[in-house]
Structure 1
Amino acid sequence: MDVTGLRVALFSGNYNYVRDGANQALNRFVGYLLKQGAVVRVYSPTTDTPAFEPAGDLVSAPSFAVPGRKEYRVPYRLSAALRRDLNNFRPNLVHLSSPDPLGHRALSWARSHGLPTVASVHTRFETYPRYYGLAFLEPLIESLLRRFYRRCDAIVAPSESMAQLLREQRMSYDVGIWTRGIDRDIFNPERRDLGWRRSLGIADGVPAIGFIGRLVMEKGLDVFSDTIDKLTERRVQHKVLVVGEGPAREWLQNRLPDAVFTGFQMGADLGRAVAGMDMLFNPSITETFGNVTLEAMACGLPTVAARATGSESLVTEGITGRLIRPGAIGDFADALQHYCQDAAAREAAGRAAQARAERNGWDQVNQALVDTYLRVIRQRAQGLAPYSSPVP
């Protein structure tokens, strides 16, 4: 079989109703599959106000809003209507992108029909409870994730560091890589616009420390703001530029009243905003890859990031940026101060970062996942059921 023989049922917890790096990667991948001649049907929660048009055929799954985070929805069952739709579609592979209730039911459906399953890992769900005072739940969540992933034929991670963590957590015996690409027409140093920076009150000689992403506490906003406070105490000249939107925006604005908030940006505007920074500060430990880090690197920026999955596969310590122990406020401040006060070091790291980002083209990374699809289908055809779990 080649790609034209693929009939893929893709299950997602969020395919297009909120814009984030994970669902944009899924949409781009579906577009790539369709362009290659595959047939894809997507099952996901939907809303009346989606963030963007979906790639491929999208079927709405029953869902409810997450308490306290109503912008997100949880698909909670594989309804009779969805089962009929699946039976009519006749997929030969099931792709699961979220270990939610619908994902569990879809996995059971696939196993009952003898279909191979591939799961893609997009976030470190087991780390989320610590941001809400529930760290004691982490072992339980990790156990639930293990049960889910070990029932799949294969899983794919967006970075080698994340893949290694999944192996150490015994999530699967078959862990591959589906990394992320970069649109170089949008993200490049030529997008830098000093006039735009000035319109935001950022003087030409003042280094801009950037944050990009959803404004939610699990992105490390507490560490980010505490570190910026430390720079201010040291009288290090800087300006904070925050690109993104989310429920914690008011909290962060109160913590950093002198920061510039652009709100949500996309396309060329996002490229201009990223290129308008002088460095990226990414203290999050929940990322499995870190799309924003790659985007910043493509724009020629050094990154100061937490030494965690995702960032470790992108940032080369001391060359393209700095990797700091998670939560080490003083060390984060030292690294940022270095780049704020040493323009030559900042530019050298930025050039190295841009060169590193050149490796990530979308067609190449998406073909790697297609190859995984074809491999697990071939293995099933040879009578090789998932090696990883006796769980039905």
Structure 2
Amino acid sequence: MKICIVTETYPPEVNGVAMTLHRISGELKRQGHHVDIVRPRQSSESQHATYEDTFIITGLPLPGYDGLRFGLPCRAKLRKHWKFKQPDIIYVATEGPLGQSAIRAAEDLETPVVSGFHTNFHEYMKHYKLPILERMVRGFLRKTHNRTRRTFAPSQDVIAKLDAMGIQHTRLLGRGVDTNLFNPDKRDPALRQRWGIQGDNGIVAIFVSRLAAEKNIPLAAKAFEAIQARLPEVSCVLVGDGPERAKLEKAHPEFIFCGMQQGEDLARHYASGDIFVFPSVTETFGNVVTEAMASGLVTVAYDYAAPHRFIKDGGNGFLATYDREEEFIATTLRAFDAIDHWPEVRSAARTTAESLGWDGIVRDFAKELQSILDES
């Protein structure tokens, strides 16, 4: 198949959606499909830079997200491009102006188009103190996705929410994890020493994510405070960058801030931790959870999305009831009560992650795309 992926975000940008789409694209190619990417030009790129199998359109900075951009409306430009280089099917991964233009251009050309639901934008509204906009965003998402043949979502609980919103023809497009990159063997004693850990007996509690309001950062800080109140010697490390970082650093000089990490450096940071604390309530999946499990960490998370699917409470991680703050903190401390069993928990987490390969996930995705073409 000739598949075109349309997205507002893609590497070298660093976020869950960008990395997921890069992995899906690469696996589709490995399985013999031709993949083109349509995306905005990024701020770090030369205005004249070109890339194989990539069609770059004009973009503008996304407010509140330094380094991320959204594509400007370009229906006519996409229509012209696809007349010259016609795909069999188009996967619109994001719902912004670029995604809207892509759906309209695909309709003009009568090219099958499907969509992906990668981000709970409607749930972000309350975290940015804009709850009045949530209903409006829900309506926008419903209208957008129902113009496509299928809407792919990363977990069954997200699919249930989409069904309740009135979004039709939903399908599962799960997530894998790179267990070669994210691996306990990447543990770095020198990095741990910089975090104040002498030898391998000390404990590092780690949080990996964009430092933004929708990631429930205040609760992560409360969980770290509870840990250090009980065990002052624990080092609490935050990996990531974002609009909340400066405020957090000022409020919590006792925490260690490592900034954004990528690739092997990110893998070393994960593997050099011991317990992963992740209180976000807005994930469609939560790639960081499976990355932490692959790195052999004890994970504490809310019981939804990836944690619900892959964590067995007390077996390969610890779960708290969704969006219950006090229970999340209590669960974090409960994990420390079970510290003698951490070797077994960490080993079980790694074993679970090793079963989450991308090959079968992408193969099922391609089969669904082919079934749509067969219907046409």
**TM-score (structure 1 length as normaliser):** 0.88
* Secondary structure, counterpart of 1:41 in structure 2: strand
Structure 1 residue 105 corresponds to structure 2 residue 88: no
Structure 1 residue 184 corresponds to structure 2 residue 167: no
1:86 matched to which residue of 2?
Answer: 82
Instruction: Report if aligned partners of 2:27, 2:358 keep a CA contact under 8 Å in 1.
Output: no
2:305 matched to which residue of 1?
Answer: 309
Instruction: Report if aligned partners of 1:158, 1:289 keep a CA contact under 8 Å in 2.
Output: yes
Q: Pick from 226, 246, 249: which aligns with 2:245?
A: 249
* Secondary structure, counterpart of 2:14 in structure 1: coil
Letter paired with 2:144: F
Q: In the aligned structure 1, how far is the partner of 2:339 from the partner of 2:51?
A: 42
Instruction: Report if aligned partners of 1:220, 1:283 keep a CA contact under 8 Å in 2.
Output: yes
Letter paired with 1:14: T
Structure 1 residue 217 corresponds to structure 2 residue 210: no
2:39 matched to which residue of 1?
Answer: 44
Q: How many Å apart are 1:217 and its aligned residue?
A: 1.7
Instruction: Report if aligned partners of 2:9, 2:40 keep a CA contact under 8 Å in 1.
Output: yes
Structure 1 residue 328 corresponds to structure 2 residue 324: yes
Instruction: Report if aligned partners of 2:78, 2:102 keep a CA contact under 8 Å in 1.
Output: no
Instruction: Report if aligned partners of 2:179, 2:353 keep a CA contact under 8 Å in 1.
Output: no
Structure 1 residue 120 corresponds to structure 2 residue 93: no
1:390 matched to which residue of 2?
Answer: none
Instruction: Report if aligned partners of 1:42, 1:56 keep a CA contact under 8 Å in 2.
Output: no
Stretch deviating more after TM superposition (87-96 or 74-83) = 74-83
Q: In the aligned structure 1, how far is the partner of 2:281 from the partner of 2:52?
A: 32
> What are the superposed Cα offsets for residues 91-117 of structure 1, whole Å, 9 maximum, x if unpaired?
121110001122122112222322221
Structure 1 residue 202 corresponds to structure 2 residue 178: no
Structure 1 residue 300 corresponds to structure 2 residue 296: yes
> What are the superposed Cα offsets for residues 334-379 of structure 1, whole Å, 9 maximum, x if unpaired?
2222323432232232222112112111222221211111111112
Q: In the aligned structure 1, how far is the partner of 2:102 from the partner of 2:189?
A: 50
Letter paired with 1:193: D
* Secondary structure, counterpart of 2:171 in structure 1: strand
Cα distance change of structure 1 residues 294 and 183 upon mapping to structure 2, 3 Å threshold: same
Q: How many Å apart are 1:327 and its aligned residue?
A: 4.5
Cα distance change of structure 1 residues 246 and 268 upon mapping to structure 2, 3 Å threshold: same
Structure 1 residue 23 corresponds to structure 2 residue 45: no
Q: In the aligned structure 1, how far is the partner of 2:306 from the partner of 2:160?
A: 11
Structure 1 residue 152 corresponds to structure 2 residue 148: yes
Structure 1 residue 175 corresponds to structure 2 residue 170: yes
Q: In the aligned structure 2, how far is the partner of 1:240 from the partner of 1:67?
A: 30
2:343 matched to which residue of 1?
Answer: 347
Cα distance change of structure 1 residues 287 and 235 upon mapping to structure 2, 3 Å threshold: same
Q: In the aligned structure 1, how far is the partner of 2:80 from the partner of 2:126?
A: 40
Task: Name the Cα RMSD after superposition.
Answer: 2.3
Structure 1 residue 370 corresponds to structure 2 residue 369: no
Q: In the aligned structure 2, how far is the partner of 1:295 from the partner of 1:70?
A: 24
Q: In the aligned structure 1, how far is the partner of 2:322 from the partner of 2:51?
A: 36
Instruction: Report if aligned partners of 1:304, 1:335 keep a CA contact under 8 Å in 2.
Output: yes
Q: How many Å apart are 1:77 and its aligned residue?
A: 0.6
Q: In the aligned structure 1, how far is the partner of 2:31 from the partner of 2:316?
A: 35
The percentage of counterpart residues that share the same residue type is 28
Q: In the aligned structure 2, how far is the partner of 1:332 from the partner of 1:181?
A: 26
* Secondary structure, counterpart of 1:310 in structure 2: helix
Q: Pick from 330, 333, 346: which aligns with 1:337?
A: 333
Unmatched tracts of structure 1, length 5 or more: 1-5, 381-392
Cα distance change of structure 1 residues 170 and 98 upon mapping to structure 2, 3 Å threshold: same
Letter paired with 2:351: A
Q: Pick from 286, 300, 316: which aligns with 1:290?
A: 286
> What are the superposed Cα offsets for residues 36-56 of structure 1, whole Å, 9 maximum, x if unpaired?
3322221111125159x9985
1:63 matched to which residue of 2?
Answer: 59
Stretch deviating more after TM superposition (91-100 or 259-268) = 259-268
1:389 matched to which residue of 2?
Answer: none
2:139 matched to which residue of 1?
Answer: 143
Letter paired with 2:283: E
Q: In the aligned structure 1, how far is the partner of 2:150 from the partner of 2:126?
A: 28
Aligned length: 373
Unmatched tracts of structure 2, length 5 or more: none
Letter paired with 1:170: G
> What are the superposed Cα offsets for residues 189-235 of structure 1, whole Å, 9 maximum, x if unpaired?
22223332012212443321111121212111111112223334445
* Secondary structure, counterpart of 1:73 in structure 2: strand
